[in-house]
Structure 1
Amino acid sequence: MFKKVQLPLQTTNLIVGFMVWVILSSLLTFIMEDINITPQQASWVTAVPVILGSVLRVPMGYLTNVFGARKLFMISFILLLFPVYYISIANSFMDLIIGGLFIGIGGAVFSVGVTSLPKYYAKEKHGFVNGIYGAGNIGTAITAFAAPVIAGQIGWSLTVQLYMVLLAIFVVANFFLGDKKEEMKVKASLIEQIKGVYRDEKLWLFSLFYFITFGSFVAFTVYLPNFLVNNFGLDSVDAGVRTAGFIALTTFLRPLGGWLADRFKPFVILMYVFGIFTIAALILSFAPSIGLYTVGTLAIAIAGGIGNGVIFKLVPMYFNKQAGIANGIVAAMGGLGGFFPPLMLTTLYSVTGHYAIGFMALSQVALASLILVIWMYFNKRLALSDEILNTTPLGMMVTNKKGKIIKINPAFTELTGYSEEEAIGNNPNMLSSDKHTNDFYDNMWDNLNRHGFWQGEIWNKRKNGEFYLEFLTINALRDDAGEVTQYAGVFSDITDKG
């Protein structure tokens, strides 16, 4: 029973955590009526919760594998009671900063579920499961939509205190429904686990990609309510509804991204994601009307939602044994991706009077990420080719069109006795046994030129002078213009069969 309930329980836990995480950004227009703060200070108030919500994700992922999701969620929600209450009685900018810093715990709980839930499912379902869990982002939409409406009726202070009741309910829910026997496998310390992954370039590339996809989600979540009010003159409730729509679209597309990554090539999907990001951010950089601004923002929502789902399919795929710490690091980078943009946009606006440079920067970073994804995709294919080349029992060699050997595999050395240093730059006739006539070789080249391949039995000689019979296949490799660029030979020793 406990195992079956973990996905819905942990997903609702994330909803609650994210609801708390964005209290300040959702209610800031109400708070500013009672507490006198500048626009620059307001940007800090909305950005500060992201700091702890990001940094804590690294130890949260690790601690989940040590203590289990049940304990981590319970402790997190108990700790959140204090900053939530402190915010509800705040009367200064510094009160909001202190309370905001510690409600970052609500965003940090993300690492708990993405580390815990894959333990309950087969690998081919990890993308979809993490996508479902990630849909807990909808918590930000719930707060963005509901908090301003409630605050309009009972005031922002009492609205914030209502979240304490919600947190208490979920402390109890996790106590009774959390998995008390969750499997723990961690033996290495946090530092040892970080050392085990930090040199892997894929970790930092995934972090960059999540920095953009999830970072944009967080940034737009905290930036849109005030921007829509100040820039387009919308009222607070209307701005909240539009922000909630952005959040909902991004959130509901996250499981789709995970599902697509389970069934298709994740890197190809990411190419489309960053292509859309590049174009959408470019549109926003021209400070368009509310109509075009909506189109650009919704495109960001679509790409971000799908991209978020895809990335958390890739992380456990490449870091299966260090999933907790890798999830934490990537998730932390995504959170930090939501910290800097609102501050940067506010600063740029105060200096230039518009947000164009900030969105242009997002466009260029997205374009760079697109290039990196393409590089990773083809690099993976090359790595797969090298693995096949190095592990196959068949001898392989590749020559240029002039017949000079440019690549061999370990099986070539084992079958012929020639090392890579001895073979590279040499000619395949170094293997000649002199048992075949010139007509035999003329016929071989005639078939290669006319049909693009030759296949048959041929006597060759090893380095030690021993003759052996091999079954050889030669293929002519051509470029897009149809010109031969290389020849690839694959052979096996059939002396005993002969």
Structure 2
Amino acid sequence: MIKKLQLSLQTMNLVLGFMVWVIISSLMPFIREDINIPAGSLAMVTAVPVVLGSILRIPLGYYANIVGARIIFMVSFILLLFPVFYISRADSMTDLIIGGLFLGIGGAVFSVGVTSLPKYYPKEKHGLVNGVYGMGNIGTAITTFSAPVVATQIGWQSTVQLYMILLAVFIVLNFFLGDRREVKVKTPIIEQIKGVYKNEKLWFFSLFYFITFGSFVAFTVYLPNFLVANFDLSKVDAGIRTAGFIALATFLRPVGGWLADRFQPLFLLVGTFAMYTIAAIVLAFSPSIGLYTIGSLAIAVSAGIGNGVIFKLVPFYFNKQAGIANGIVSMMGGLGGFFPPLMLSAIHGITGQYSIGFMLLSQVALASLIIVVWMYYQDKLALVSEVFDSTAQGILVTDPAGYIKTVNPAFTRLTGYEADEVLGQRPSILKSGRQSEDFYSKMWSEIKQHGIWQGAIWNKRKNGEEYVQWLNISAVKDETGEDVRYVGTFSELNQQQLKA
């Protein structure tokens, strides 16, 4: 029973963590009425919670494997009580920065669930499960929408204090409903890091999540003030529009995971980054509120689907190092939410507009699109290579002139020749001398005529031992019908097969 509750419980934990994470940015229009925050420092104050929320994802993901999600969620919510109370009493920008830094714990809990929940489900459901968990992002929408409404009634300080009650409730829920018997994985963190940091896919996924989740966080903290300042919207209207952006991206996350369970995930990322590129270009031209809304919603669709797809791919490629890999990738996503608001603010301060920043986003998305296409074809090549290397039959490939270009490990096992001993040689190095020249003439005549030959043939190993093999030779042709290479596959025949 407890195990069946984990997806719901941990998703609600993430909802609360993200609700707390964006308190400052959601209430900033109200906070600025009481605390003087220079326009140039606004982006810094709202982005600060992202810093610790990103960096802590690595240790929280790792320790979720060591002690279980129950303990990590409880400790995280206990620690969050202190910065929430501190912010409710803040009367300076310094107080907001200090308290905001530790609010990052709320964002860091993301890596706990993506590490814990896959333990409860088969691989073919990991995309959907992590997508459903990722819907906890809706916590940012809840705070962005509700906090300003509540603050108009009771003030922003009292609104912040309400979150302490929610934290206390969820500490109790995790104590009683968290899984005390969760499977633990105790691989030392240094070993896990060594097992993943040289894998280029980890850093590609980190880049992709930097863009998809980073843009989600960046728009979450950037839109409320931007819409008020640039389109003269009311604070509540700006909050509702931002909540709509967050809700769309959030609800599409499990859709992305579900699609990734059923279709080629890399193809889905191609579509995601293509949409990103176009939408960012639209935003770069500083459009009207109508086109700006369309561009922002396209970013939300791309972010939601992309986030779901990526966390299908991470446990698929890093099953044994899921904790640390999830932590690193999600950390990069969090940092992706920290830098864009600062960059946009700096660009606006220099140029008076945001166009260059959005154009930069479009170019990074385009570069990611190219990388995804490259990864897809690399995977196809890797699959072919795995088949080539693992097959039990010996394989040799020659050019049209008959010189050996490559052989597989089974070739070495069957013949005794290492690859470097036969590359550039002709297959005649294997001849036993038992077949006549007429035999070989007829064999090649059939290959030229039909493109294939097969039959039993006597050959000789490197140590001089003669043996019979069943040999298949196929001609590989180009689009003009010319032979461009020949592929030979063979296996040894035993005495019983010879008699048969």
TM-score, scaled to structure 2: 0.95
CA distance in 1, matches of 2:485, 2:215: 46
Q: Which residue of 1 aligns with 2:379?
A: 380
Q: Give the secondary-structure state (helix, strand or coil) at the position aligned to 1:464.
A: coil
Partner of residue 158, structure 1: 158
Distance 1:346 1:92 in 2: 21
Matched, 1:47 2:47: yes
Rounded to whole Å, the distance in 2 between the matches of 1:384 and 1:148 is: 53
Q: Which moved more, 1:45-54 or 1:372-381?
A: 372-381
Residues 210-249 of structure 1: matches in 2 within 5 Å?
210-249=209-248
Q: Quote the Cα distance in structure 1 between the aligned partners of 2:449 and 2:287.
A: 60
The residue type equivalent to 1:218 in the other structure is V
Aligned partner of 2:310 in structure 1 is: 311
Shift of residue 53, structure 1, vs aligned partner: 0.4
State how 1:415-454 maps to structure 2 within 5 Å.
415-454=414-453
Shift of 1:71: 1.4
CA 1:441–1:293: 2 relative to 1, 3 Å:
farther
Q: Report whether the alignment pairs 1:178 with 2:181.
A: no
CA 1:336–1:480: 2 relative to 1, 3 Å: farther
Deviates more, 1:156-165 or 1:447-456: 447-456
Q: Check conservation: 1:398, 1:405, Cα contact below 8 A.
A: yes
Q: CA deviation at 1:457?
A: 2.8
3-state DSSP of counterpart to 2:353: coil
Alignment of 1:86-235 (within 5 A): 86-188=86-188, 190-235=189-234
Does 1:400 pair with 2:399?
Answer: yes
The answer for the alignment partner of 2:286 in structure 1 is 287
Which region of structure 1 is more displaced relative to structure 2, 307-316 or 378-387? 378-387
> How big is the shift at 1:10?
0.4
CA distance in structure 1 between the partners assigned to 2:171 and 2:295 by the alignment:
39
Please give the secondary structure, in 2, of the residue aligned with 1:256: helix
Using the TM superposition, give the Cα deviation of residue 434 of structure 1 relative to its aligned residue in structure 2, in angstroms.
4.1
What is the deviation of 1:195? 3.0
Give the gaps of 5 or more residues in structure 2: none
Which residue matches 1:65?
65
Q: Equivalents in 2 of 1:449, 1:25: separation in Å?
A: 73
Aligned pair in 2 of structure 1 residues 455, 285: CA closer, same or farther (>3 Å)? farther
CA distance in 1 between counterparts of 2:169 and 2:144 reads 21
2: CA distance, partners of 1:276 / 1:435: 65
What is residue 74 of structure 1 aligned with on the other side? 74
Does the aligned pair in 2 maintain the 1:41–1:93 contact within 8 Å?
A: no
RMSD over aligned Cα, in angstroms? Answer: 1.7
Q: Equivalents in 2 of 1:187, 1:366: separation in Å?
A: 35
More displaced stretch, 146-155 vs 41-50: 146-155
Other-structure match for 1:487: 486
| Range 448-457 or range 378-387, more displaced | 448-457
What one-letter code is carried by the residue in structure 2 that aligns with 1:13? N
Deviation at 1:192, TM superposition (A): 3.6
Q: d(CA) in 2 for partners of 1:12 and 1:318?
A: 27
Deviates more, 1:126-135 or 1:316-325: 316-325
The Cα offsets for residues 317-340 of structure 1, whole Å up to 9 and x where unpaired, read as 222222111111111111001000
Letter in 1 for 2:168: A
Task: Give the counterpart letter for 1:171 in structure 2.
Answer: I
Q: Where in structure 1 are there 5+ consecutive unaligned residues? A: none
Q: Name whichever of 104-113 and 65-74 sits farther off.
A: 65-74
On the 8 A contact 1:26/1:143 being kept in 2, the answer is yes
| 1:358 equivalent in structure 2 | 357
Q: Are 1:29 and 2:29 counterparts?
A: yes
Percent of paired sites with the same residue: 66
Q: Is the 8 A contact 1:433 1:460 kept in 2?
A: yes
Q: Is the CA contact (8 Å cut-off) linking 1:135 and 1:255 kept in structure 2?
A: yes
Where 2:471 maps in the other structure, the secondary structure is strand
Instruction: Give the distance between the partners of 1:32 and 1:203, measured in 2 at CA.
Output: 40
Corresponding residue SS for 2:337? coil
- The alpha carbon displacement at 1:491 in A equals 1.1
**Number of matched residues?**
497
| Mapped partners of 1:360, 1:486: distance in 2 | 47
Cα distance in 2 between the residues matched to 1:480 and 1:14: 55
Letter in 1 for 2:76: S
Paired residues of 1:457 and 1:471 also in contact (CA < 8 A): yes
- 1:20-43: CA deviation from partner (whole Å, max 9, x where unpaired): 101111111111122121222110
- The answer as to whether partners of 1:348 and 1:355 remain within 8 angstroms in 2 is yes
- Closer/same/farther in 2, CA of residues 450 and 346 from structure 1, 3 Å limit: farther
Report the TM-score when normalising by structure 1.
Answer: 0.96
Q: Distance in 2 between matches of 1:254 and 1:451?
A: 53
Does the C-alpha gap of structure 1 residues 372 and 75 become closer, same or farther in structure 2, counting only changes over 3 Å? same
**Deviation (angstroms), 1:484:** 3.3
Query: Partner of 1:344 in structure 2?
Result: 343
Shift of 1:458: 2.8
Q: Return closer, same or farther for 1:357/1:444 CA change in 2, 3 Å cut-off.
A: farther
Equivalent AA in structure 1 for residue 377 of structure 2? F
Once the two structures are TM-superposed, the CA of residue 14 in structure 1 deviates from its matched residue by: 0.2
* 1:3 is the counterpart of 2:3: yes
CA distance in 2, matches of 1:299, 1:314: 23
Paired with 2:474 and 2:282, the residues of 1 have a C-alpha distance of 49
Aligned-pair CA distance for 1:136: 0.4
DSSP 3-state at the match of 1:398: strand
Matching residue of 1:456:
455
Which residue of 2 is the match for residue 331 of structure 1? 330
**Counterpart amino acid of 1:375?**
W
